[in-house]
Amino acid sequence: MSKGKKVGGTKLSPEEKRQLPSKEQSLFRQIVKFYETKQYKKGLKAAEQILKKHPEHGETLSMKGLTLNCLERKEEAYEFVKKGLRNDLSSHVCWHVFGLLYRSDHDYKEAIKCYLNALRLDKENIQILRDLSLLQIQMRDLNGFVQTRRQLLTLRPAQRTNWIAFAVSHHLVRNYDMCLHVIDAYEKTTTQDTAKAQDQKKDRGNDSSSSSSNNNSSGSGSSSPDEQFETSEMVLYKARVMEESKQFDKAIGLILSEDNKLLDKLGAKEALGRMYLGSGQLDKAEALYRELIDRNPENTRYHDGLFNAMELLGVDKGFEEDVLPLQVRQKMIREYEALKEKHPKCIAFVRRIIDLHSCEDDPKGENFANAVDVYARPWLKKGVPSLFQSLKALYKNDKNVDLIGNLFESYEKSLRGEEKLPKEEDKQAPDVLVWVLAFLAQHYDYVGQIQKALEKVDSAISHTPTVIELYTIKSKIMKHAGHLDSAALLSDHARQLDLADRYLNCHTVKYMLRAGQINEANSLAVLFTKDNVSSNSKDEDKKKKEKTDPLESLKNLHEMQCMWYEYEIGRAYLKLAHSDNGFENTGRALHKFNYILKHFDDMQEDQFDFHSYCLRKMTLRSYLDMLKFEDKIYAHPFYSKGAWGAIRCYLQLHDDPPSERKQKEQEQEELMLAKMTPNERKKYKAKQRKLAKQKQQQSEAESAADAKEGGKGNKDTRPFLVKEEEESQKLLYTEKPLEEAHKLLQKLQEYQKDDPQVDTQLLLFEWAMRSNKLLMALQAVRRALKIDRKHPEAHKAFVRLVLENQKEGDCKKKLHPVVDKVMTNYITEIIGSASTLEEYTKNYIEVVGSTSMLHGLAGVEAMCLVKPRENAEELLKKNLIGKSWFGASYLSGRVTTHESCEAVHKCLQREDKFRVLEQEWKQNCAKHFPYSAYFEGSRVAELAENPSSVLKVQSALDSLAIQ
């Protein structure tokens, strides 16, 4: 009689039920082996053989489910694993398998629960403990990680990885003394083992042959490269722990005593420099940083270390020239002058001197201008296009802007008159003038003088029409001028001058997307993606079939995590969604933004494999750096941009619900059918029936393929573009868009604690208002105003919130009295000295309204919300239309831009009563932006008739045979 059945009427215990006959036990071991070797079909077959005789065996059912999961049959996998667990709740194998299933779906919290249940049944299972420790460090359950690594070390003290992991676990919880104690204990153990091994070799005698003796002596005399690396990393890691625990003297002594074992000499010197500063040994720190500067003078971190050692900067503070006293800056300048004599080719020294002079109390700015002069001349002579980018940070000071502009104007005047730079005897090459003009074009573009910028860049192009960078500069100017189509045309022209340049191709794609030319941009974007067709395929017909659509290669951009492209195309679709082109583009935009979010999720998941790898390979310092990076990965600017875009899409979907949208579609279809003739209506309905039938047949064929392939049929064989469109359509009908938006907002808030963003708080406010959560909306507004008290959108949000709180609606009635009191106190605190909301809004207009046109508009909008009967036209004339927003102060500070002017005009267009003001505003903007397509400037008609006229040099290029 086989085990697992009743014997003499007695029911068997779970342990007895779990026991299989010897044949089935062998099969079960084979299932585990097949799973480990990824032979899933064989494992599935073996599991089915056992289940024929023992259909209720829990562990076999669980292993079958785990195997099915690897064959992408998720639903069946969960069914079998849960059934196996129900049949044998006391089996650690079933719980472990259930945890593995959750882990494969990245549900780590549930996986940890399953592992803990498995450990209650088998407390010393090494594999489960290892898997649990990996999940704990992945989820940053550091205290649990410490306990699990302690158990593993207790069970397997002979394994080096357990010692290292236990030490690292204490390091992560900042228990530095215990971390060092574990490392010391491990080193003593390894030293003793090494000594014993050497003694055993000596006891064996010298009876072997001379050749083998030579081989042994050579092998024992030197360690392998891997051992040398591990020893070096252990010393530097130990020193890092000491440094973080402020044991600077011990760390310094360790590095100096073990210097001959260190392979990363540069890393050791950098660590020593930090430790010398921390311990107050400034003379040694200064000498060391001077040595590092001699090694790499361009590294500005070494400069900061040197000045910290010289007590010119505070320890651990960066280089902030605008907060340094004049005497300190003068000392630093003298030091840089001395270093420059020793390293005359170093650019960083000259650039830092400019920064130090930029805020010096010099009425004429001669020192600053001379420093820029010394810095710029070599760049101009060498023809370095990035000169303006390297000096752009200086433009935050208006005085600097004038000095730089005057300096380069003097260059142009001298080169045109004498073909020489000022104060130089030698004549310069003709291209120096081109780069001076290129710089001036960017300079005037930055300060808002569009016409002057175009004159300079056109002059440069006429001088030398073959310089590619001139067209990219002009494309940027045309973008700021408001003609995106011309900007895209210029960028594409630059691309055609060098078709092998990937940067130019990407630049053109970006500008085309901003101009709304999505199809053209996609056609260019695939040019630098790899082709999926096999290179060794000899079947030409097959190749042609596989390459039906070049745009299929767009999927490679997503595989390469090309986030700038996904963000730009998402913005382009969202822009179309806001226009009259329908709501379908909202789904497309959301789909692109979701790609960005998925990339960051993938990066976060990818660290899982490195937890065990880094400990095994002893790359401990890199491992800690990786953990710090992963802890802040969702604070990356690209994640914020992608999340903001996705949240805006979800809010838009909430404002236009799927049910109403479907009803609108049906109504539109009925109206369309009503306009058709009977024959046209009959053809249309026949076509719709045909499409529905084709879709049903396709679905049935896919289901049949799934059943035939036994799991492999789940592989998505749809063309990429079809798949993209279908997934975008699904996103349009998201059932709970506010919940999806809230998930993203929670993550943004969690990871932006150290650097909160206004956009996140404003989007949280919009979500809270739609969710009728007034207290959360108030908290979001408070944080936004704390970041930027003058922010126009934050001001409008606060006014909206106060007015909503004053209403006696359902939302107000649901508020708890305590919450209502808290809100009242917060609102009173924000309003401050103003007695009423109306007075607060008036103060904003008077004090902040002149900051920019957007601030002025926000003040007027808020006042109209507070006092609906207020004469809005008079307010707009006084605080917006009547002000000189196109003055030099607003333009040079980039306060007035085409984008801000367009935003104001769109706001005025919403109300019919502002039609006269809207036309007046449009005329004012058209005067300043003559190339603006939006404002229909005076030069737009010329560009519409002949788009290539913006190039200005077509004839010259044709004569040079460049095209």
Q: What pLDDT was estimated at residue 176?
A: 95
CB contact set of 152 (below 8 Å; sequence gap of 6+): 126, 129, 130, 133, 162, 165, 166
Listed residues 908, 928, 954: the one ending a domain: 908
Between 547 and 197, where is the model more confident? 197
Backbone angles phi, psi at 164, to 5 degrees: -65, -45
The residue written with tokens 């900061």 in the block is: 304
Which letter does DSSP use for residue 7 in this model? B
Contacts of 681 (CB under 8 A, 6+ apart): 673
Residue 664 has pLDDT above 90, yes or no: no
Q: Is the pLDDT of residue 409 over 70?
A: yes
The pTM for the full model equals 0.87
Residue 657 or residue 171, greater confidence: 171
Do 550 and 690 touch, CB atoms closer than 8 A? no
The pLDDT value recorded for residue 298 is 94
Q: Tell me what pLDDT residue 900 has.
A: 93
Per-residue pLDDT at 624 exceeds 50: yes
Contact 867, 849 (CB under 8 A): no
CA 156 to chain centre: 41
Within-domain flag for 846: yes
pLDDT at residue 90, rounded to an integer = 86
Domain containing residue 104? 17-173
Q: So what's the pLDDT on residue 711?
A: 47
In this prediction, residue 680 carries a pLDDT of 82
Q: Residue 572's pLDDT is what?
A: 94
Q: What is the pLDDT of residue 52?
A: 87
Given this model, what pLDDT does residue 724 score?
85
**CA dist., res. 240 & res. 173, Å (int):** 15
pLDDT digits (tens, 9 = 90+) for 607-621: 998 999 999 999 999
Does 893 or 734 have the greater pLDDT score? 734
Stretch 24-28: mean pLDDT: 85
3-state SS assignment for residue 10: strand
pLDDT for 128 equals: 93
- Is residue 463 domain-resident? no
Residue 60: inside a domain: yes
Q: Is 843 within a domain?
A: yes
Output the furthest CA–CA distance in the chain (Å, rounded). 116
Among 861, 891, 908, residue at a domain's last position = 908
- Between these two residues, 16 and 589, which has the higher pLDDT value? 589
Contact 931, 949 (CB under 8 A): no
Average pLDDT, the chain: 85
What mean pLDDT comes out for the span 195-203?
61
In terms of average pLDDT, the best of 513-522, 825-834, 861-870 is 513-522
Opening angle at CA 448, ends 512 and 388, nearest 5: 75
**Alpha helix locations (H) across 753-852?**
758-770, 774-787, 792-806, 810-813, 817-831, 837-847
Query: Is 801 inside a domain boundary?
Result: yes
- Give 390 or 25, the one with higher predicted confidence: 390
- How far apart (Å, rounded) are the C-alpha atoms in residues 742 and 737? 9
Q: Record the tokens describing residue 622, joined without a space.
A: 């890199």
At residue 77, does pLDDT exceed 80? yes
Window from 315-324, 478-487, 820-829 with minimum mean pLDDT: 315-324
Position 209 confidence tier, pLDDT thresholds 50, 70, 90:
very low
Any domain includes 667: no
How far is the CA of 365 from the CAs of 334, 400, 401, 409, 848, in angstroms?
Answer: 18, 8, 11, 16, 31
CATH number at residue 90: 1.25.40.10
Residue 2 has a pLDDT of 40
pLDDT at 887 over 90: no
556-582 mean pLDDT: 88
Among the listed residues 911, 959, 902, the one whose alpha carbon sits nearest the alpha carbon of residue 934: 902
Q: Which two tokens stand for residue 350?
A: 């000259």
Residue pair 570/593 in contact by the 8 Å Cβ criterion: yes
DSSP structural state of residue 780: H
Q: Is the pLDDT of residue 321 over 60?
A: no
Asked if residue 238 has pLDDT above 80, the reply is yes
Could you tell me if residue 111 is inside a domain?
A: yes
Q: Which residues partner with 7 through β-bridges?
A: 10
Alpha-carbon distance 95 to 84, whole Å?
9
- Average pLDDT on 273-286 reads 94
Query: Mean pLDDT throughout 185-208?
Result: 66
* Structure-model confidence comparison of residues 629 and 313, the more confident one: 629
Domain total of the chain: 2
- Mean pLDDT to the nearest integer, 488-502: 94
**Span 408-417, average pLDDT:** 93
How does residue 13 score in pLDDT terms, banded at 50, 70 and 90?
low
Residue 710 has pLDDT above 80, yes or no: no
Residue 889 confidence (pLDDT)? 83
Q: Is residue 401 part of a domain?
A: no
Q: pLDDT band at 5, cuts 50/70/90?
A: very low
Q: End of a domain among 892, 908, 924? A: 908
How much is the average pLDDT of 94-114? 92
In percent, the amount of the chain with pLDDT more than 70 equals: 86
User: Residue 418: how many CB atoms within 10 A of its CB?
Assistant: 12
